[in-house]
Chain A
């Protein structure tokens, strides 16, 4: 093979592999993008039914309930609340009054059934999603106050 042919072969193989990968990636991407919703967005019905997503905010004080390995708690962004049920061990950093992110989906009763409660951070660190939920809610509240004031 001449160098030119070699290069053509090279480019051909590269393109083939790339298109194969693009196929995999697009397929996998579509089904595995996990979007994030705040409790307010769930309340207003923006969150999908029957699809995995994440919810984040603060764990409401006094809302944690245990029944055997079943736990339930309320995630709040201070404007609206979302009830989360989960079965299993909670991570070390899970605490009432602290930030939390849960991944799972809504069941028929509108409860959020978490498959995972995320807490890969130290005690000073707020999960970015949880922080966003609180910031969004604070901004909405502020906007509401401003609108009501003469």
Chain B
């Protein structure tokens, strides 16, 4: 009964979205008639859509928590033994529910725009909410026609099939909502861009309104990607943190484009330049978000042909994507002649920022190519192939080098510098310092790990990280320590760049110095890995709520000192024949010691296979992401976004 109510709420939400999409837009098109009043409908209808979708979401969550296995979707993704917090997370554990989450978050962003837009003129709000309304219509139609989570099962099942064991992890409870906050958040940046195109006034005010929204979306997206990577590292048990898997790429693409958009919006806000580029980036970032949803949700990743045999879902998203891209580009082409660049010569900083965003976009395109190419080839029946991770590393890394190099002159040059030489004169001591650090670090690491003292890759990575960190700090600290107010935007930018430096350092050192060993050990055996000793003390059977596990006790020593006892597990979930490896990690700022348990090598189970890693500086990767996010949050809190801009 409740579930039917939820279904009904979703249908109502579609109706209200139609009102939100059409009436305010008509109002803005006829500002001097009685229709102008319709603009005022935008805010209340956005609020109403949020309420309706939330009710619908709540009924589905209720069905999960109440173990209502007469609902097909619940019976496929939950189980009465599943702990309650995972039952709640199971709402978005499958296709239908995760789309409902998408719409729930979209309506949340709509609500946020409706509430936090007091300083915006009404026609702007009406246009933005109308665009969001159109997006909501697309997704609500998608759910209602192809992916209804409220479908009943006759006869009802006594017990559900359980949530995929891989998804039963705290990080996975919050990973999809965070990622979707990012994906969907770019719809707001998109809506602002389209609204500005519709109004024909792409002015500084538009860029200023759009920036905090884009920043917040970018922060969520970074968090989502970081969490996903951290989850893969902790749960998949292979010790990797980025696999260039299509699912990962699907989230990286809009992130790269969104990063370029953030920087481009700043240029537009500060100097009124590159408006067309900024608008295109906003359109691209959202389109890539939709593409990401398509890749992950249509089944096309499993097999292009599986998609072709049940094409309803995939075709819907593809058509929707084509409509979004087509309509926005047509609008863009129609309005582009009106985009006039601001008067005044471009300054060095603009050129550098532009170069940076071009490199980011090219990197994005290269990743897109590697992700989509195998699917296109497969769809054309030209054979099966995959693009290996080495391709992405080979392409991505060289493109990020200029981004990092240009970052520092881009930051320290002012809006007045016009020639590069004065900036270069200021920066060359730092360049030398970075190079020196880049040479010293591998020598020191090599010395302590007893490996080669010379590694060009590590030197480059460390030098770039130092370059960005020192460039950032020498610019930030004097301003921060000096009396007087420093703008939050300034601090946020530097924090984010510092985070990038930390991330680059982490990636460089873990790639340069990680060691992995697959071994078989008898109980009591010792494994020496660099300066560490691992002793397999024993393996026991331990029960869990919906699984049984074999748990090993592995003591880790350095010299005579006992560092930790690690407990890697091999779990067998009752609902699934598939075992699950739960790695155990001893985390420290300088290195992670990582052990996962393989299989017994003999019948008596006295000999086991184990995988042991030492990962230097791996936590710096996530620390870097956190710093970047902190920078984004600080920048979004800047006072000037809350003041009413002079129009």
Q: Which residue numbers of A lie inside 8 Å of B, CB to CB?
A: 1, 3, 6, 9-10, 13-14, 17-18, 20-21, 24-25, 27-29, 31-36, 52, 54, 66, 68-69, 87-90, 92-93, 103, 120, 122-123, 125, 128-129, 131-132
Contact = CB atoms under 8 A, between A and B. Distances in A.
B358 A24 contact: no
B394 A24 contact: yes
B576 A123 contact: yes
Contacts of B365: 21
B384 A25 contact: no
A89 B362 contact: no
A29 B581 contact: no
Contacts of A21: 362-363, 365-366, 395, 399
Interface in B318-355: 340-341, 345-346, 351, 354-355
B147 interface: no
A69 B519 contact: yes
Given A24-B399, A28-B390, A34 B518 contact: no
B611 A129 contact: no
B577 A17 contact: no
Given A10-B277, A27-B394, A68-B520, 19 more contacts: A1-B346, A6-B273, A10-B354, A13-B355, A21-B365, A21-B399, A28-B395, A29-B387, A33-B385, A34-B387, A34-B388, A36-B384, A52-B388, A88-B518, A89-B518, A89-B596, A123-B578, A131-B303, A132-B384
B358 A13 contact: yes
A69 B520 contact: yes
B22 to A, nearest CB: 37
Nearest to A101: B386
28 contacts: A6-B273, A6-B341, A9-B351, A13-B355, A17-B359, A18-B362, A21-B365, A21-B395, A25-B366, A28-B394, A28-B395, A29-B391, A33-B391, A34-B388, A36-B385, A54-B386, A68-B601, A87-B518, A88-B611, A89-B598, A92-B578, A92-B579, A92-B581, A123-B578, A125-B302, A128-B303, A128-B384, A132-B384
| Residue among B166, B358, B610 with the highest chain A CB neighbour number at 10 A | B358
A63 B164 CA distance: 29
Nearest to B598: A89
B629 to A, nearest CB: 27
A20 B274 CA distance: 23
Nearest to B397: A24
Given A27-B394, A131-B303, A13 B580 contact: no
B609 interface: yes
A33 B376 CA distance: 14
Given A21-B399, A28-B391, A92 B580 contact: yes
Nearest to B391: A32
Contact of B394 (A9, A32, A88, A89): A32
Nearest to A29: B391
Interface string B51-94: 00000000000000000000000000000000000000000000
A120 B245 contact: yes
Contacts of B385: 33-36
B395 A24 contact: yes
Nearest to A36: B384
A70 to B, nearest CB: 10
Contacts of A69: 518-520, 609
Nearest to B577: A123
Contacts of B164: 122
A35 B384 contact: yes
A125 B471 CA distance: 49
Interface string B11-51: 00000000000000000000000000000000000000000
Contacts of A10: 274, 277, 354
A27 B393 CA distance: 12
Chain B interface residue number, banded: 35 or more
Given A6-B341, A123-B576, A32 B519 contact: no
Contacts of B580: 92
A23 to B, nearest CB: 10
Contacts of A28: 390-391, 394-395
A120 B386 CA distance: 14
Nearest to B340: A3
Contacts of B457: none
A46 to B, nearest CB: 11
List the 7 shortest-distance A-B pairs measured between CB atoms, nearest first. A32-B391, A28-B394, A36-B384, A128-B303, A123-B578, A88-B518, A3-B341
B383 interface: yes
A77 to B, nearest CB: 13
A33 B388 CA distance: 6
Given A25-B369, A34-B387, A66-B601, A1 B362 contact: no
A9 B346 CA distance: 11
Given A9-B351, A36-B384, A69-B519, A17 B358 contact: yes
A66 B608 CA distance: 12
Contacts of B598: 89-90
Contacts of B277: 10
B456 interface: no
B362 A122 contact: no
A66 B599 CA distance: 11
A125 to B, nearest CB: 7
Interface string B580-599: 11000000000000001011
Given A33-B387, A132-B384, A1 B345 contact: yes
Interface string B429-447: 0000000000000000000
B386 A36 contact: yes
Nearest to A92: B579
Nearest to B305: A128
Nearest to B609: A89
B399 to A, nearest CB: 7
B311 interface: no
A1 B271 CA distance: 14
Nearest to B596: A89
Contacts of B345: 1
Contact of B166 (A3, A89, A103, A122): A122
A136 B388 CA distance: 24
